[in-house]
Amino acid sequence: MYNFTNHIRGLLIDVSGYNDKLDVLLEKVVLQVRGLEVSEDRFKIIRDRMLRYLRNSEYAHPFNQVGTYSEQFEGEKSVTNDELLPELENVTAQNVQQFFPQILAQCHIEVLAHGNLYNEEALKIIDLVGRAIKPRRLLANQVPTRRGLIWPSGSNFINEKQFKGPRNINHCIEYSLYTGHRYDSVMRAKLLLFGHMTNEPCFNELRTIEQLGYVVFSGPSLDDVWSGYCILIQSEKGCRYLKGRIENFLNIFEQKLNDMSEEDFERHKRAMINNRMAKLENLSSGDSVFWNHIYSDSYGFLQAQAKAKEPSLGENKTAAAAVLNITADDEASQTRVEGVSSKKAISDAIAGHLTDDLKVEEEVADKVLDEAKAELGIADSGLSAPPQALNASTDVKEVVDASHPVLIENVHLWKASMQVSSDVRLERDLEEFVEVA
């Protein structure tokens, strides 16, 4: 079996099957690729299929669409389906016939041979591919760099996109927190552990308890060299309301983390380490792991072991604040709630009961009131001020204020004002993996 696909950095040929005939199949596929003849009729069929796919993608479920737009805020270079569509409409069969040989004329080849193969057989496969394609070597300065955007500390950016599906009643929010360079091993360990610890509580709070929507996801977000933490929700409720509920959950979990015992924290850490160190289930899962390290240009084949030995997060934990127990006066609360005519009035009555009757501290009262509003479906939007559009003459550094969100209307303008990170760095010298005969 074989697959021939493309990705943002090149072409991928995947061949699998019995090892005794694997090199024969690979040679036939590579030779067929090298001698590709673009048929006009076949080209029209494939191009029409791709055009339909790109157009139909605009009517997919919101949670399937949002990722294609959020990627442009993470990497230095990105292309959306909206940008691909007009370009594809102008591509001809002759364009492809002229362009394709240029790809193979000068390129960099990487091969992963995994399975029931001896070292000599793997080297034979590599030599086979090189002899079949016969490319010129790609110069070091021609290899594309991978750089991520560096979000300024304390920034609060919002980008809004109107989905085209006329019958779609759902909204979708992808709430991202930037953490830094993906190959900062200590930061990555903390991020993975945080994602592990919040996975179940996030789903339980936002999906099960608050019932915001059927699609609720949380976890680390890794893209080339960019890394962050992401919470995604698809819901019939508005995105600004969902943003408020996400931030409420993060505040709740922060308190839980502060109150967490050292034993519970160590249990979370051990569970994540065991998960990272678990043996690969089958050959396919091993292929994915090894190829991802090659594709990323980091060659971090021992990354899981390195994560397991990184410093504990317990060093950064702060002392927990005392938990206040509130004893409610049923008669007083019922008196205030009786006669109200709206959900908003109920929340006002609860606020008065907490501050006037129970004399609860303002911080605790705000937390209890926020949970009550969530139950009533009238929680705050999470925006302390209306988002302001980013002007062409405004420097991003001048609008870094978490309490004042900035609305990104022109993505290109916004990216032009952002700093970029360093490129991918080798986690280990490749010479360490060379087997000396």
Alpha-carbon span 307 to 254, nearest angstrom: 23
Q: How confident is the model at residue 282 (pLDDT cuts 50, 70, 90)?
A: confident
Residue that is written with structure tokens 């420097």 in the block: 395
Tell me what pLDDT residue 100 has. 85
- How confident is the model over 335-350, as pLDDT tens digits? 665 666 665 666 677 7
With vertex at residue 217, the alpha carbon angle to CA 239 and CA 389, rounded to the nearest 5 degrees, is 30
- Better-scored residue on pLDDT, 53 or 225: 53
Burial status of residue 40 (CB atoms within 10 A of its CB: 0-12, 13-18, 19 or more): exposed
Q: What is the mean pLDDT of residues 356-364?
A: 72
- How confident is the model over 98-154, as pLDDT tens digits? 988 888 888 888 888 888 888 888 888 889 988 888 888 888 788 878 888 988 888
Tell me what pLDDT residue 433 has. 67
- Better-scored residue on pLDDT, 233 or 59: 233
- Better-scored residue on pLDDT, 89 or 300: 89
Percent of the chain with pLDDT over 70: 76
Domains of the chain: 1-140 (3.30.830.10), 311-380 (no CATH)
Alpha-carbon span 332 to 66, nearest angstrom: 47
- How confident is the model over 154-184, as pLDDT tens digits? 888 999 988 887 788 899 999 999 998 888 8
Q: What 3-state class would DSSP assign to 174?
A: strand
Tell me what pLDDT residue 208 has. 93
Alpha-carbon span 132 to 40, nearest angstrom: 26
Residue that is written with structure tokens 């390290």 in the block: 293
Tell me what pLDDT residue 249 has. 94
Q: How confident is the model at residue 225 (pLDDT cuts 50, 70, 90)?
A: confident
Alpha-carbon span 90 to 88, nearest angstrom: 5
- Better-scored residue on pLDDT, 430 or 56: 56
Mean pLDDT of the chain, nearest integer: 80
- How confident is the model over 292-332, as pLDDT tens digits? 777 777 777 766 655 444 434 333 333 222 222 333 445 66
Tell me what pLDDT residue 313 has. 35
Pick from 216, 198, 196: nearest CA to 206: 216
Residue 3 has pLDDT above 60, yes or no: yes
Tell me what pLDDT residue 9 has. 79
Tell me what pLDDT residue 326 has. 34
Tell me what pLDDT residue 324 has. 26
- How confident is the model over 374-431, as pLDDT tens digits? 555 555 555 555 666 666 556 566 666 656 788 888 888 888 888 888 887 766 666 6
Q: How confident is the model at residue 437 (pLDDT cuts 50, 70, 90)?
A: very low
Tell me what pLDDT residue 315 has. 38
Tell me what pLDDT residue 268 has. 93
Q: What is the 3-state secondary structure (H, E, C) of 89-146?
A: HCCCHHHHHHHHHHHHHEECCCCCCCCCCCHHHHHHHHHHHHHHHCCEECCHHHCCCC
Q: Lowest-confidence range among 39-43, 248-252, 279-283, 349-353?
A: 349-353
Pick from 151, 212, 149: nearest CA to 177: 151
Tell me what pLDDT residue 357 has. 73
